[in-house]
Amino acid sequence: MKQGDFIAVIFCLFGFLMVPLLTMACPECSAEGNTGVIVVDVQGDFTTAKKGSLAVNGADQAFIKKVGKATKDLSGKGFIIFATQDWHPANHVSFFTNHEGKKPFDLIKIDGRSQVLWPPHCVQGTENARVLVDNNLFRAVVKKGQDPKYDSYSGFQDDGGAKTEMDKILKRNTVRKVVVYGIATDYCVKATAIDAADAGYKVIVVEDLCRGVAPETSKKALEEMKAKGITILKELDIEKIKGL
């Protein structure tokens, strides 16, 4: 046998032996791709636990602990964990303080589009912009809302259409299915889940691991997501997610 043929045989045998080992090491890896998790905006300014400037009802310490445990459990089962993080400059267009005479939650027109004015929140480098889930669990944290001219509810793109790195990162990790949860059901969770579905991913939203701004808009958001073919699970069920 020639030396080149011998090396080729060794590589073939190595590949044959490695396939089952890789499958054991990563139970969510398969020919169909990996399952990812997107933890949406679980940051201090959106929680009552941290007395955030834009705190969502029910986003208390118990909720943060529940999200943290669920994320750790999913990571332990081989799911690949990602996060989104609102990361606004201080001069962001959505802050009411940057518009003279305006109040929080006023609705204004900017360049022909509607803009809700929020209290300043998740300002770059501040304590309450920090993601409150163990950051060591994340393969990547995708920052959004960095352009001062545009809001960014979705983890995939801002309101001006500029793409984040989310889609590229998911594709790089051969993710085909994503589990989405976090804050808020009726804003950033909805926008992220719908954009994921539009990008061709199978999407599952875990309702119990989300908190919404208002019951009515959260209910409507869940209906909109269902209409997009997104699966809504009342609570985390890892075996069911694997089967979807």
Residue 122 known to be catalytic = no
Our measurement of the distance from residue 24's CA atom to the centroid of its chain's CA atoms, rounded to an integer in Å, reads 26
Range of the domain at 168: 30-89+122-243
Domain-located, residue 4: no
Q: How many domains does the chain have?
A: 1
Say how far apart CA 211 and CA 63 lie, in whole Å.
Answer: 9
Question: Hunting for tokens 């793109």 — which residue is that?
Answer: 157
Give the CATH number, domain containing residue 163. 3.40.50.850
Residue 234 known to be catalytic = no
Domain-located, residue 157: yes
Instruction: Give per-residue pLDDT as tens, 7-24.
Output: 443 444 444 344 344 334
Q: Which of 41, 86, 151, 195 is catalytic?
A: 41
Q: Which of 158, 159, 188, 202 is catalytic?
A: 188
Domain-located, residue 224: yes
Strands 80-86 and 34-40, bridge-based pairing: parallel
Domain-located, residue 229: yes
Domain-located, residue 111: no
Instruction: Give per-residue pLDDT as tens, 95-152.
Output: 999 999 999 999 999 999 999 999 999 999 999 999 999 999 999 999 999 999 999 9
Half-sphere exposure of 165 (CA within 13 A, CB side): 13
pLDDT at site 156: 98
Instruction: Give per-residue pLDDT as tens, 54-69.
Output: 999 999 999 999 999 9
Q: Are 40 and 182 in contact (CB under 8 A)?
A: yes
Domain-located, residue 217: yes
Domain-located, residue 231: yes
Q: What is the mean pLDDT of the chain?
A: 90
Q: The pTM is what? A: 0.87
Q: Which of 45, 86, 143, 144 is catalytic?
A: 144
Say how far apart CA 81 and CA 89 lie, in whole Å.
Answer: 26
Domain-located, residue 235: yes
Residue 144 known to be catalytic = yes
